[in-house]
Amino acid sequence: MSSFADPKLTLEEIAHLSGVSRSTVSRVINHHPNVSDSVRQRVMAVIEETGYRPNLAARTLASKRSWMIGLVLPRSVSSFFADPYFPRLTQGIAQGCNQHDFTLGLFLIGTKEDEKKILPRVSRKGMLDGVLVQSGQIGDQLIIRMVNLNMPVVVIGHPLNSEDVSFIDVDNLNGAYNAVSHLIRMGYKRIGTITGLSGGAATADRLEGYRKAIAERGRNIDQSLIAEGDYTEAGGYYAMQQLLPAKPDAVFAASDLMAIGAMRAVREAGLNVPQDVAFVGFDDVPIATYANPQLTTIRQPIVQFGINAVEILIDLIENGIKPHRRIIMGTELIIRDSCGASLRRRELSKIQS
Amino acid sequence: MSSFADPKLTLEEIAHLSGVSRSTVSRVINHHPNVSDSVRQRVMAVIEETGYRPNLAARTLASKRSWMIGLVLPRSVSSFFADPYFPRLTQGIAQGCNQHDFTLGLFLIGTKEDEKKILPRVSRKGMLDGVLVQSGQIGDQLIIRMVNLNMPVVVIGHPLNSEDVSFIDVDNLNGAYNAVSHLIRMGYKRIGTITGLSGGAATADRLEGYRKAIAERGRNIDQSLIAEGDYTEAGGYYAMQQLLPAKPDAVFAASDLMAIGAMRAVREAGLNVPQDVAFVGFDDVPIATYANPQLTTIRQPIVQFGINAVEILIDLIENGIKPHRRIIMGTELIIRDSCGASLRRRELSKIQS
DNA sequence: GTGAAAGCGCTAACAG
DNA sequence: CTGTTAGCGCTTTCAC
């Protein structure tokens, strides 16, 4: 219980104090079966007493395992931190690491320069057993290099070119499809969409979901009802201004933040949500509940998503990177006020009463 | 330029290929001055050709330096991820790490269990050269232990009990003081405040700033004009509901998120911002600009704050932990619409014209 | 079950 | 300026 940990408290020292060899102490620490109970107890007692902690660097050097994984978030993301999506993802990943006794290294790529510096660190020699990489234009190049290095890699949100790599993603296409289908069921006729930044797989899939839902009802895709945003509030705002002349009566925004920005544009144009323009977002971030009106949206199981990502990576580390694992997680439609559903319900009950 | 890095590419191997000794290669890598130019060139060429990267674990073991620091965010924080403050702080810290070629380890303490697991990792033997810890009830215990371990530690936002430790903080007291003084100058008479979670130093300081500004004008502190929030939108909303009966004409909220929640409560009560109740927030998070009306607030230089925190920690690591460094960073009043300033300006110009 | 011995890949005196 | 020699603290065969 000595709280002042001796700086040079090594395995050797513990072995000495408990009257056994270094190897035996190592076995105890690593929970090897081949240690007699009595010895195990004795050694554990000494460890407890002295407050001994194994030196991770030495351990890593000898075993070639660091119990440390990296999370790489590519450049575009630094601005994305305005969006609650990444923090929550990070939280899920951190939680997964804690659960499995892994340490998390965080690599935010802000500049081209960072990118070069980070690559050497993101490998086994850089102390990492494996890496989680957010997909996106910049990330995708890193992914290729790391896969070539034979590193265990799990891509978060599948890359555009997704052969030969494990990934975990959310079912963006069906999520968007469900969002738009909901609007169609509610009777809206001119349904627009605000997409994310083009070039990402999630953006493409959500747009595809929109297209599928519209086309399935035998309607034509009207290009004037499609505007590009960038996943930010401001981006949603400007995209909505582009959409307004086309007079949509409902809009599916590819992120909640963009939906909120778009609703702001609608209000400024003197129109009401959802009476004049109804909205469905994507993500179900906390502010969705506090928006005015509360946002109908597609919920992603994001924290669990992060935990799963970690577990897949650990599986890769421990059982080999082949065959590649591919996981797609489902989404859920959360109906609130911005789509007009609750309004309609109130009107119906008025009529009935 | 062989992109397939040989798995067993070591210093020894590079030494061989360039016809020098291991030490010389080591010197080249570590930029030691005592290497002739010709040899340096030759070695560098071989390194480039082979794509050699030093093994960090071996390096750490031999040199007792890992070039890795940890960021510890205590329990309460996991929920705080709803607030953009922590993501941005993390971004600043990551940026600082990139600039100085350090790797960042992220430790989110979610549960009591995590806390125990994390402590052994957050030490030199856990591969860290130093640690940044967010202050807060839980963090504070960790801080004490780590300081006892003789680890370089920089506390983010000073701990309640701040002797014997280096910290960096923002000037919460003066920030709040300036916010409230601004409201006083604008002529508001019944100025309330929504505080953060009690128990934190930042919360206490911001409340103190409020008190100081009010008292300095010879007014009495009215307890019914003080309500406690928890830095969340919902917390601000409920706190405002408590404040409403006391009929404040202006409110200083200790975070932007709470201000936004409070404005929601005001609107729901059928009142207008800023005509009936004016607001000043704290933080200047991105949504402050998109709030309706746009939020007047106290800007914290948060990204720079994170960068500075890293630099202080590196200073501690390289030059010893004593004497303790204490840095307080200033804030800035950002005037927008929620305090009524722009409204007043418009009215004035109407009168003049 | 336990111990001895040989590294893991690097840094850091110390000679020369 | 460069090479030699010890380790850093642990894991991991391989004997016993």
Average pLDDT estimate for B297-313: 96
Which stretch of DSSP H or E encloses residue A37? helix A37-50
Please state whether beta strands A332-334 and A296-299 pair in parallel, antiparallel, or not at all (unpaired): antiparallel
DSSP labels for B238-268? HHHHHHGGG--SEEEESSHHHHHHHHHHHHH
In this complex, do A126 and B3 lie within 8 Å of one another by their Cβ atoms? no
Instruction: Give the tens place of pLDDT for each residue, A59-76.
Output: 999 999 999 999 999 866
Q: State the pLDDT at residue B86.
A: 86
Q: State the pLDDT at residue A3.
A: 38
* C-alpha span between A46 and A282 (Å, rounded): 55
* C-alpha span between A158 and A135 (Å, rounded): 6
Average pLDDT estimate for A177-203: 93
Instruction: Give the tens place of pLDDT for each residue, B189-241.
Output: 999 999 998 888 899 999 999 999 999 988 889 999 999 998 888 899 999 99
Which residues of chain A have a CB within 8 Å of the CB of B103? Answer: 105, 107, 121, 126-127
The one-letter amino acid code at A216 reads: E
CA atom of B23 to C1′ atom of C15, Å: 14
Instruction: Give the tens place of pLDDT for each residue, A130-180.
Output: 999 998 776 677 888 888 888 999 999 887 676 789 999 999 999 999 999
Among A291, A272, A302, residue whose Cα is nearest residue A336: A291
The gap from C-alpha B57 to its chain's centroid, in whole angstroms, comes to: 29
Say yes or no to pLDDT of A80 above 60. no
Beta carbons of B280 and B338 less than 8 angstroms apart: yes
Best CATH choice for the domain A68-170+302-330 from the list 3.30.450.20, 3.30.420.40, 3.30.530.20, 3.40.50.2300: 3.40.50.2300
Q: State the pLDDT at residue B4.
A: 44
Q: State the pLDDT at residue A2.
A: 40
Q: State the pLDDT at residue B77.
A: 54
Q: State the pLDDT at residue A176.
A: 98
Q: State the pLDDT at residue A145.
A: 83
Q: State the pLDDT at residue B76.
A: 63
In this complex, do A81 and B88 lie within 8 Å of one another by their Cβ atoms? yes
Q: How many CB pairs under 8 A join A and B?
A: 154
Check residues A28 and B136 and name the one with the higher pLDDT. A28
What residues form DSSP beta bridges with B76? none
In this complex, do B233 and A287 lie within 8 Å of one another by their Cβ atoms? yes
* C-alpha span between A297 and A281 (Å, rounded): 4
The sheet with strand B296-299 has its strands ordered as: B226-228, B191-195, B250-253, B278-283, B296-299, B332-334
Instruction: Give the tens place of pLDDT for each residue, A206-265.
Output: 999 999 999 998 888 999 999 999 888 889 999 999 999 999 999 999 999 999 999 999
Q: State the pLDDT at residue B7.
A: 56
Q: State the pLDDT at residue B201.
A: 86
Average pLDDT estimate for B18-36: 92
Tell me the average pLDDT of chain A: 89
Which stretch of DSSP H or E encloses residue A192? strand A191-195
Which stretch of DSSP H or E encloses residue B71? strand B68-73
CATH of domain B11-63: 1.10.260.40
Asked if the Cβ of residue A322 lies within 7 A of any atom of strand D, the reply is no
pTM: 0.91
The pLDDT-based confidence of A353 (bands split at 50, 70, 90) is: low
Average pLDDT estimate for B333-353: 78
For tokens 């690593």, name the residue.
A30
Check residues A158 and B264 and name the one with the higher pLDDT. B264
Angle at B169 between CA B174 and CA B304, to 5 degrees: 105
The reply to whether B172-300+334-352 shares the fold of B68-170+302-330 is yes
Average pLDDT estimate for B158-183: 90
For chain A, domain boundaries: 11-63, 68-170+302-330, 172-300+334-352
The pLDDT-based confidence of B27 (bands split at 50, 70, 90) is: very high
- D9 closest protein residue (CA to C1'): A58
* Continuous H helices in B10-134: 11-18, 22-29, 37-50, 56-63, 76-80, 85-99, 112-121
Give helix A201-216 / helix A172-185 axis angle, nearest 10°.
Answer: 30
The pLDDT-based confidence of B248 (bands split at 50, 70, 90) is: very high
Say yes or no to pLDDT of A111 above 50. yes
Beta carbons of B68 and B129 less than 8 angstroms apart: yes
Q: Does domain A172-300+334-352 have CATH number 3.40.50.1220?
A: no
Please state whether beta strands A296-299 and B166-170 pair in parallel, antiparallel, or not at all (unpaired): unpaired
Instruction: Give the tens place of pLDDT for each residue, A113-136.
Output: 888 888 888 888 889 999 999 987
* C-alpha span between B104 and B280 (Å, rounded): 35
Q: Which two tokens stand for residue A21?
A: 């060899």
Which residues of chain A have a CB within 8 Å of the CB of B104? Answer: 105-107
Instruction: Give the tens place of pLDDT for each residue, A281-298.
Output: 999 988 898 888 999 999
Q: State the pLDDT at residue B84.
A: 81
* C-alpha span between B107 and B96 (Å, rounded): 17
DSSP labels for B209-245? HHHHHHHHTTPPP-GGGEEE--SSHHHHHHHHHHHGG
Classify residue A237 as left (phi > 0), alpha (psi -120 to 50) or beta.
Answer: alpha
Burial A225-237 (b: 16+ CB within 10 A, else e): bbbbbbbbbbbbb
Mutate to test the interface with A, among B108, B118, B122, B132 (most CBs of A within 10 A): B108
Q: Which two tokens stand for residue A252?
A: 């599916």
Question: CA separation (Å) from A199 to A204, A233, B13?
Answer: 7, 19, 42
Q: State the pLDDT at residue B353.
A: 55
Tell me the average pLDDT of chain B: 89
Instruction: Give the tens place of pLDDT for each residue, B59-103.
Output: 999 999 999 999 999 866 555 566 788 888 999 999 999 999 999
Q: Which of A53, A91, A108 sits opposite B94 (nearest CB)?
A: A108
Q: State the pLDDT at residue B113.
A: 86
